[in-house]
Amino acid sequence: MAADSGATVQESKDDGPKIPDKKKTKFDVVIIGAGPSGYTAGIYCSRAGYDTLILSGILPGGQLVNTTEVENYPGFENGIMGPDLMMIEMRKQCQRMGTTIVDDEAVDVDFRRKPLKVLTASEEYEGRAIIIATGANPRKLGLEGEETFGGKGVSYCATCDGPFFRNQELVVVGGGDSAVEEATFLTKFATTVHLVHRRDELRASKVMQDRAQSNEKIKFHWDSAVTDIKGDQKVQEVVLKNLKTNEESKLTVGGLFVAIGHEPNTKLFKNQIDLDEEGYVILKNKTHTNIEGVFAAGDVHDRIYRQAITAAGYGCMAAIDVDKYLTESADKQE
């Protein structure tokens, strides 16, 4: 992947070779992560006049890079492909505002003292403020078919992809609030939703369970696991195994929704900022973490909404909070 390095390139007067300037490593704001929250925070911080760096990671763009069409991000009447939204529209808008984007991965941070530091394998970056926008990844079943049929019938977000599956039979895997909520939501579109859970009782809240159990379109498959996903160009069949009897069965379906939880990308911040028992960033006040000058935005703290547009909204909020924090810090120093 081509890197937009933090280095500025000076053109020599005689049109000779371009000599990279010394790498810039000190910024007003360092944003870790380049999904909708990171890019939005970049746009707002740069536009507010702050010298801003986004460390995008090795695979910039967040979860939407693995998505096909995005129909629910405002401003695109006919929808937009996920990679185009992230890698072209948001990234270029951010760069036009003046954000420096480095396609490198943060491997360590030091928030124990000022200046706040973010380290990659080769550089040490300093920021007067940091925005953590590293997102979360949906847990996977670990089946080969998840890779083969990603964006071709296998989905990790019913709100995002449900409307693509009108009048089809669908499978949802999981037994928590997400799975039950997604199964219920999907009955708006599907003819039947098969909810496959590995145990014989749901983890979801009672009210959600009751709603799902009274929905005639939802069929429960207890003590069961999806063991294979089959199809030609897209998902056509899902193989189930009863974990008590080892009996196998097949379902002819148009899609498989995996809803077995998410993992926030916060390993880097363990022992540096407060995380909850599942690893999500705990916000102390608005987008502030427990460390002064360190903020968080998007799926890295949000386990409820998890949409591109809500992540973008959180990115905006974090940038506004950073502006207030930096302005007040500057006032204190005067």
Catalytic residues: 157, 160-161
- The reply to whether 141 sits near ligand NAP by the rule CB under 6 A is yes
Give the three-state DSSP class for 329. Answer: helix
In sign, the C-alpha dihedral spanning 162, 164, 168, 169 is negative
Question: Of 49-57, 72-80, 195-203, 280-288, which segment contacts ligand NAP by CB under 6 A?
Answer: 195-203
Q: Report in angstroms how near the CB of residue 180 gets to ligand NAP at its nearest.
A: 8
- The reply to whether 288 sits near ligand NAP by the rule CB under 6 A is no
Give the three-state DSSP class for 183. Answer: helix
Q: Report in angstroms how near the CB of residue 310 gets to ligand NAP at its nearest.
A: 13
- The reply to whether 239 sits near ligand NAP by the rule CB under 6 A is no
Output 217 or 303, the one with its CB closest to ligand NAP. 303
Token pair of 243, please? 């974990």
Indicate the residue whose CB is closest to ligand NAP. 176
Q: What is the C-alpha R_g of the chain?
A: 22
Task: Out of 110, 176, 241, 320, name the contact with ligand NAP by CB under 6 A.
Answer: 176
Task: Out of 24, 47, 152, 203, name the contact with ligand NAP by CB under 6 A.
Answer: 203
Question: Of 125-133, 161-169, 197-205, 293-301, which segment contacts ligand NAP by CB under 6 A?
Answer: 197-205
CB-based burial label for 181 (10 Å; 0-12, 13-18, 19+): buried
Task: Out of 217, 230, 288, 303, name the contact with ligand NAP by CB under 6 A.
Answer: 303
> Apex CA 293: angle with CA 287 and CA 297, to 5°?
30
Beta bridge partners of 17: none
Task: Out of 35, 62, 174, 255, name the contact with ligand NAP by CB under 6 A.
Answer: 174
Dist. CA 46–CA 27, nearest whole Å: 11
Element spanning 207, H or E: helix 206-213
Give the three-state DSSP class for 201. Answer: coil
Output 128 or 197, the one with its CB closest to ligand NAP. 197
Closest CA to 60 of 111, 95, 9: 95
- The reply to whether 169 sits near ligand NAP by the rule CB under 6 A is no
- The reply to whether 181 sits near ligand NAP by the rule CB under 6 A is yes
In sign, the C-alpha dihedral spanning 229, 195, 278, 153 is positive
Beta bridge partners of 117: 110, 126
In sign, the C-alpha dihedral spanning 273, 274, 278, 283 is negative
Q: Report in angstroms how near the CB of residue 258 gets to ligand NAP at its nearest.
A: 8
Token pair of 248, please? 């196998």
Whether 186 and 178 have beta carbons less than 8 Å apart is answered as no
Map the footprint of ligand NAP across residues 304-323, applying CB under 6 A: 304
- The reply to whether 261 sits near ligand NAP by the rule CB under 6 A is yes
For tokens 């991000």, the residue is: 73
Task: Out of 47, 198, 230, 241, name the contact with ligand NAP by CB under 6 A.
Answer: 198
Q: Report in angstroms how near the CB of residue 212 gets to ligand NAP at its nearest.
A: 12
Please give the size of the binding site for ligand NAP, defined by CB under 6 A.
17
Task: Out of 178, 272, 287, 289, name the contact with ligand NAP by CB under 6 A.
Answer: 178
Q: Report in angstroms how near the CB of residue 70 gets to ligand NAP at its nearest.
A: 21
- The reply to whether 199 sits near ligand NAP by the rule CB under 6 A is yes
Whether 14 and 7 have beta carbons less than 8 Å apart is answered as no
Residue numbers at the binding site for ligand NAP (CB under 6 A): 139, 141, 173-179, 181, 198-199, 203, 260-261, 303-304
